[in-house]
Structure 1
Amino acid sequence: MDILLIGGLWLDASAWDAVASAMREQGHRPVPVALPGQGDGSTSATLDDQVAAVLTAVDAADRPLVVGHSAACTLAWLAADARPDAVAGVALVGGMPGSDGDLYADFFDVEDGVMPFPGWHAFEGPDSADLDEEAKASFSARAVPVPEGVSRGVVRLTDERRFDVPVTLVCPEFTPGQAKEWLEAGQMPELARTRRLEYVDIDSGHWPMFTRPAELAALLAHVAEGL
């Protein structure tokens, strides 16, 4: 099956290298999506540019599973909204989709038109507990500042058929139980309306593509095979 892999903030497509390698061994066709403004040197890219890149990948694939990580869970959900008949399923790793009218990822300060990686103090605790100092240094060195036009782009959702697309919420630094509590508390309004929502646990921090790539690949392959 075609499995599109969309990295979260500060990540370029190479973040999926180890996961993609393991998926190919399992007979699937992983497609790490290169996002404008995250690895191509552009600082003027917009959220619309990133959505267009994802939809180009969807259109080139055969009913793919679309995987979004962290903030890019919203990009995966936007793909389901724009192509509800072409997307076989959506897997959300360590995040939840924004709602119509939300800003995409206005989480940290913008400097000179970009949102740089804020440093590890912002991710102390479960997010980074499984990253050693060498891994943190490597991440910081490769982190790509996110253009303001992406981070402060406005989410637009228009097709309610997106709620028919099967969704799997992969829970790394939080548990399925916590996610269900957030859902019941109204903190995940888009997921509350999906007609098929499953929860899957993975014992990792926020970036399992680096710390548990084989496990993440096997988990996503299992999701794909169940669609």
Structure 2
Amino acid sequence: MTDFVLVPGAWLGAWAWEEVARELRAAGHRTHAVTLSGLAEKRGAPAGQQTHVQDVLDEVARGDLRDVVLVGHSYSGIPVGQAAERIGDRLARVVYVDAVVPADGESFASRWWQGSAALEADIAGNDGFWAPLTAPECAGHELDPGQIDHFLAGATPHPGTALTEPAVLTRSPGELPATYVKCLLDGDEPSEDVAALLGSERWNLVEMNTGHWPMFSRPRELAEVLHRAATEG
């Protein structure tokens, strides 16, 4: 039995993992879905990227969790990757779900595909927050209208400081056991930094033929991927 700590990406809270968590519990695992500070039911709480790292660490410490699989989706790959190196032998594996992987001194904004200036301008124009996507922007990711409505109903603006604050690492993420889940409707190849990390003997790649939010579009399949990652270790 594994303890899965499930951390959602930008705009989302613990609620985003409900279907995946249900499948994992049915397989005999324990699940701990995290809402990061400043989002969902924690909206309004002060939040930077290091706050989000601490949110993950606190979840592990609160339950005195062992044999932990940390799962980070999208933005949350950055705080999850930092937390992974700080929990020592409690870590079993990291799973990055179509995620940004941290690099020391780099932020989410500095790795944003449109460039950091574009994202920082978006944040500045929205009172310091990154506004959630609109329905048309969710198109092409295998989400039906009901799933898009569910996504949008729960989404909250993402604290901008969490996106611009740099990561702090003491070693390469490639030194820790990890699975990278690439969602092919969001690009058919991993980014260059991820491709380089996949050269590590401790990393492996899993491809899913779905969009960027597999916890909504393919929750059962994603749960199976997570189960295999834990059992194959």
TM-score range, shorter chain: 0.7 to 0.9
**Amino acid of the residue matched to residue 48 of structure 2?**
T
**Is residue 129 of structure 2 the alignment partner of residue 114 of structure 1?**
yes
What are the ranges of 5 or more consecutive residues in structure 1 without an aligned counterpart?
A: none
1:169-224: CA deviations, max 9, x gaps? 11223599722xx4xxx433772574411111222111110111111111101111
Following the alignment from structure 2 to structure 1, what is the Cα–Cα distance between the partners of residues 208 and 84?
24
Residues 94 and 172 in structure 1, CA contact (< 8 A), matched pair in contact too:
yes
State the TM-score, normalizing by the size of structure 1. Answer: 0.86
Aligned-residue sequence identity (percent) comes to 31
Alignment correspondent of 1:206: 212
Alignment correspondent of 2:116: none
> Which residue, 46, 54, 58 being the options, matches 2:56?
54
**Amino acid of the residue matched to residue 178 of structure 1?**
E
1:107-163: CA deviations, max 9, x gaps? 5311112111142454554xx2x1123322321221111112212221111145x53
Following the alignment from structure 1 to structure 2, what is the Cα–Cα distance between the partners of residues 89 and 203?
23
State the TM-score, normalizing by the size of structure 2. Answer: 0.84
| Structure 1 residue 37 displacement after superposition | 1.0
> Which residue, 138, 148, 154 being the options, matches 1:142?
154
Which shows bigger deviation, 139-148 or 23-32? 139-148
Count of residues in Structure 1 that have an aligned counterpart in Structure 2 = 218
Following the alignment from structure 2 to structure 1, what is the Cα–Cα distance between the partners of residues 204 and 135?
31
**Amino acid of the residue matched to residue 6 of structure 2?**
L
Where do 4+ consecutive residues of structure 1 move more than 6 Å? none
What are the ranges of 5 or more consecutive residues in structure 2 without an aligned counterpart?
A: 113-118
Following the alignment from structure 2 to structure 1, what is the Cα–Cα distance between the partners of residues 187 and 227?
19
| Secondary structure of the corresponding residue to residue 8 of structure 1 | coil
| Structure 1 residue 105 displacement after superposition | 4.3
1:158-177 equivalences in 2 (<5 Å) = 158-160=170-172, 162-173=173-184
1:186-225 equivalences in 2 (<5 Å) = 186-188=192-194, 191=197, 194-225=200-231
Alignment correspondent of 1:70: 74
> Which residue, 164, 170, 186 being the options, matches 1:152?
164
Following the alignment from structure 1 to structure 2, what is the Cα–Cα distance between the partners of residues 105 and 120?
23
Residues 105 and 150 in structure 1, CA contact (< 8 A), matched pair in contact too:
no
Residues 91 and 168 in structure 1, CA contact (< 8 A), matched pair in contact too:
yes
Residues 54 and 83 in structure 2, CA contact (< 8 A), matched pair in contact too:
no
| Secondary structure of the corresponding residue to residue 193 of structure 2 | coil
**Is residue 92 of structure 2 the alignment partner of residue 88 of structure 1?**
yes
Following the alignment from structure 1 to structure 2, what is the Cα–Cα distance between the partners of residues 137 and 27?
31
User: CA separation of 1:123/1:187 partners in 2, compared to 1, >3 Å: closer, same or farther?
Assistant: farther
